[in-house]
Amino acid sequence: MKTIYYYQTFVGLDKALDHIEDVDVLIVSSIHFANDSSSKDNKKSIYLNDNKPYDPIFNDMWLQTEKASVQGTTIMLMMGGAGKAYKELFSDFDTYYPQLKQLILEKSWIKGIDLDIEEHTSIDNVKMLINRLVKDLGNDFIITMAPVSSTMVSDGSSFAGFNYKELYNSEEGSYIHWFNTQCYNSYTFETYESIINNGYPPEKVVMGMESGQFDESTFVEALNEVKKIKEKYPNAGGVFDWEYLNAPPDGSDPSQWARLMKDI
């Protein structure tokens, strides 16, 4: 069972690095694309949050994620989330995509990408992107997606505007390593089982929480739900938390989330 953090607020990983064996995956967030208003020619550029990914502001983050990678943690990038990353990407794919590919190749410890699509996007464009990633980076490059739980429980449209089951059952679906399912409305065994009953294999489904869902006094409820999942589905994909900054139950040490989950 994988333990996964999304990592967007770069507060430092010192505490996690002390027991990095408890952290299976770190997903550095979030990649998007835009015109560079600071350049004279308004050049189109890749961004990590509000800055270009090579900005010195990220030096410590890249050093620490590389260190975590050397010690066995899988480092990934998240692309999308709030904003219009995919609209911009597909508006000029031949300009933006090479910058994404270059970043992944230059930061050689990046082993995968999480496609968090929260805007209407053509399924054909998503298939094209997946195929390009596989072609350029190989079958071992990890590709995940981050749908909301309701999209996985019952088939239909999604924030992305397409049916995830249709994508999963397509040729490109075979390249999706797992789904980081946003269970922000219902972090329960019942939600997880409903997804499995809808035809998704347990090993492909990671159940995700938002840090604000639980605190020190209620986090035991989350642990109990995960225990029930693990008992019935020993090969469950895992759990994630958005985001590392304030992962429960200990506000002063977010790394404890992974330790407690890994104990299960």
CATH T-level fold of 2-263 = TIM Barrel (3.20.20)
* pTM higher than the cut 0.95: yes
Q: What percent of the chain has pLDDT over 70?
A: 98
Domain boundaries, the chain: 2-263
> Which string of b and e fits 154-192 if b means at least 16 CB within 10 Å?
eeeebbbebebbebbeeebbebbbbbbbbbeeebbbebb
Count of positions (residues) in the chain: 264
Q: What is the pLDDT of residues 11-44, one digit of tens each?
A: 999 999 999 999 999 999 999 999 886 666 679 9
pLDDT digits (tens, 9 = 90+) for 75-120: 999 999 987 899 999 999 999 999 999 999 999 999 999 999 999 9
pLDDT (0 to 100) of residue 158: 86
Please state the rounded mean pLDDT for residues 157-169.
92
Share of the chain above pLDDT 90, in %: 93
Report the mean per-residue pLDDT for the chain: 96
- Per residue in 57-77, pLDDT (tens digit) is 999 999 999 999 999 999 999
pLDDT at 49: 97
Structure-block tokens of residue 180: 């980081």
